[in-house]
């Protein structure tokens, strides 16, 4: 599962792996390069994603949209009987 998420995340423009343990990515905004951090964990079969802006409080929903897109792509790549609770 972590491998699939990493592959999807790194396929996102301006996204780099920040840490493997915990799994974290940094994605920079297109125009000004502001960093957003996305942390991913799996606990008791639940996928947990925390995505936030490093600077400021308003991100216009881009972190939520990115996280939902990653989940959607990963879900399509997993077997139907996956044990992850979406």
The pTM assigned to this predicted structure is 0.86
* Range(s) of the domain holding residue 53: 2-77
When divided into structural domains, the chain yields a total of 1
Domain assignment present for 59:
yes
Domain assignment present for 83:
no
Domain assignment present for 33:
yes
Length of the chain in terms of residues written: 86
Q: In what order do the strands lie in the sheet with 23-28?
A: 15-20, 23-28, 35-43, 46-53
pLDDT tens per residue, the chain (86 residues)? 889 999 999 999 999 999 999 999 999 999 899 999 999 998 887 889 999 999 988 888 999 999 999 999 988 887 766 555 55
Q: Which two tokens stand for residue 69?
A: 């897109």
Domain assignment present for 82:
no
With CA atoms as reference, report the closest residue to 50 among 60, 58, 39, 42: 39
């Amino acid at each position: 599962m972590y491998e699939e998420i990493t592959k999807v995340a790194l396929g996102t423009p301006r996204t780099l792996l920040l840490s493997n343990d915990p799994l974290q990515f940094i994605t920079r905004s297109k125009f000004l390069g502001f960093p957003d951090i996305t942390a991913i964990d799996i606990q008791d079969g639940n996928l947990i994603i925390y995505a936030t802006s490093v600077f400021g409080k308003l991100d216009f929903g881009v972190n939520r949209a990115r996280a939902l897109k990653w989940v959607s792509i990963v879900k399509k790549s997993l077997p139907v009987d996956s044990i992850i609770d979406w």
